Homo-oligomer: A and B are copies of this chain.
Amino acid sequence: MSAVNRQVRLARRPVGEVRDEDWEQVVEPVGVPGPGQFLGRTRYVSLDPAMRGWLDDRPSYLPPVGIGEVMRAGSVVEVVASEHPEFRPGDHVVGAFGVQDYVVSDGKGALRVDPSLAPLSTYLGALGMPGMTAYFGLLEVGALKEGETVVVSGAAGAVGTMVGQIARVKGCRVVGIAGGAEKCALLTGELGFDAAIDYRSEDVRKALRTHAPDGIDVYFDNVGGAILDAALTRLAMRARVVVCGAISQYNNETAVQGPSNYLSLLVRRARMEGFVVFDYARRYTEASREIAGWIADGRIRVKEHVVEGTVGDFPATLQMLFRGENTGKLVLRLT
């Protein structure tokens, strides 16, 4: 056990792409848990596209990470000492513990997880926020019905792989949009998507005409930009566009590219709706139980991209998301 707590803190607000200089690597003494607290050692750190938004100083669904603060991140920690009645040494706990080796926590918002039921990393992916996001975004916001056509962008990512597979479980036709032949092969091969569109080599609009000939009933958008615009041209009547994210726009130094084709919402009597997964927190247990069942019976395959390293590898690993270098849920395993 190292005697120090390495942390990644936000040094300054990035402009456009996040640079090394935007981070500060700090070494602190390991904290000591007081009454009602536990000390956790980080095992896995989650990397999420949403993190880019947390770095900007503008009103959003969470306050921005402050300059000088430890970077916010979901992680799985192992309890190494505890003065908390509900968490004992050896327990594994998931929570927003930040990018650091150790955390002292009062257990608020933390959840004990069972490593014998699923690999620890899965609690940051299929059974964590991305899984919840896919589940509630598709079924609640998207109001998915059996037999509909679902298109998901960022399809090979943490959320996208789950959206597509849940839609398949629900008896829908699923088309994924992803970057590169390898990712597309994964979608239609291993993950059972009906079709995949490689936005790097294909005309997405034309490909959607081929693969969603009757129009798109639910478009689950993780990317924004030109792909959102292409999808808007192919909506079926009363389609639902689920706004989950816009990774293509997060590093913009200029204004976000608004969807030029938004008037198709009028023509197709469609809606575009945003959501934040935290609003469904009271139903996470129900959702993760259902997803765990689908994983258990083989109807959903968990895709994870595990990078091994130290806390100091967080900045470089985060970049992978914006370069499309991950397939499935990206996590940093602290070694």
Q: Which of B262, B263, B268 contacts A262 (CB 8 A)?
A: B262
Tell me the complex Cα distance, A269–B137, Å: 11
Residues of chain B within 8 A (CB-CB) of A261 are 256, 258
Q: Identify which of residues 265-286 in chain A touch chain B, using a CB-to-CB cut-off of 8 Å.
A: 265-276, 279
Q: Which of B61, B229, B266, B276 contacts A61 (CB 8 A)?
A: B266
Q: Which of B267, B268, B271, B276 contacts A267 (CB 8 A)?
A: B276
By the criterion CB–CB under 8 Å, are A256 and B263 in contact?
yes
Does A260 touch B at the CB level, under 8 Å?
Answer: yes
Q: Identify which of residues 204-234 in chain A touch chain B, using a CB-to-CB cut-off of 8 Å.
A: 224, 229
Q: Identify which of residues 25-40 in chain A touch chain B, using a CB-to-CB cut-off of 8 Å.
A: none
Does A155 touch B at the CB level, under 8 Å?
Answer: no
The answer to whether residues A243 and B256 also contact, given A269-B279, A271-B273, A274-B271 and a CB cut-off of 8 A, is: no
By the criterion CB–CB under 8 Å, are A270 and B274 in contact?
yes
- Of A224, A249, A257, A272, most buried by chain B (CB within 10 Å of CB) is A272
Main SS of the interface on chain A? loop
Does A119 touch B at the CB level, under 8 Å?
Answer: no
By the criterion CB–CB under 8 Å, are A61 and B267 in contact?
yes
Residues of chain B within 8 A (CB-CB) of A257 are 258, 260
Output the nearest chain B residue to A233 by Cβ-Cβ distance.
Answer: B59
Tell me the complex Cα distance, A250–B269, Å: 19
Does A71 touch B at the CB level, under 8 Å?
Answer: no
Does A315 touch B at the CB level, under 8 Å?
Answer: no
Does A117 touch B at the CB level, under 8 Å?
Answer: no
Tell me the complex Cα distance, A271–B265, Å: 11
The smallest C-beta distance from A44 to any residue of chain B, in angstroms, reads: 26
By the criterion CB–CB under 8 Å, are A276 and B271 in contact?
no
The answer to whether residues A229 and B258 also contact, given A269-B275, A273-B270, A274-B265 and a CB cut-off of 8 A, is: yes
Residues of chain B within 8 A (CB-CB) of A269 are 274-276, 279
Output the nearest chain B residue to A262 by Cβ-Cβ distance.
Answer: B258
Chain A window 238-268, contacts with chain B (Cβ cutoff 8 Å), 1 for yes, 0 for no: 0000011110010000011111111111111
Q: Which of B229, B243, B255, B262 contacts A243 (CB 8 A)?
A: B262
Residues of chain B within 8 A (CB-CB) of A263 are 224, 243, 246, 249, 256, 274
The 13 listed contacts between A and B (C-beta, < 8 Å) are: A59-B267, A229-B258, A244-B266, A255-B260, A256-B261, A256-B262, A258-B261, A259-B262, A266-B276, A267-B276, A269-B276, A271-B273, A271-B274
Given contacts A243-B263, A257-B260, A269-B275, 19 further A-B contacts (CB under 8 A): A60-B267, A61-B267, A224-B263, A243-B262, A243-B265, A243-B266, A245-B266, A255-B260, A258-B261, A259-B262, A262-B262, A267-B276, A268-B274, A270-B274, A271-B271, A271-B272, A271-B273, A271-B274, A272-B273
Q: Which 7 A-B pairs have the closest CB atoms?
A: A258-B258, A266-B274, A265-B274, A271-B273, A258-B260, A258-B259, A255-B260
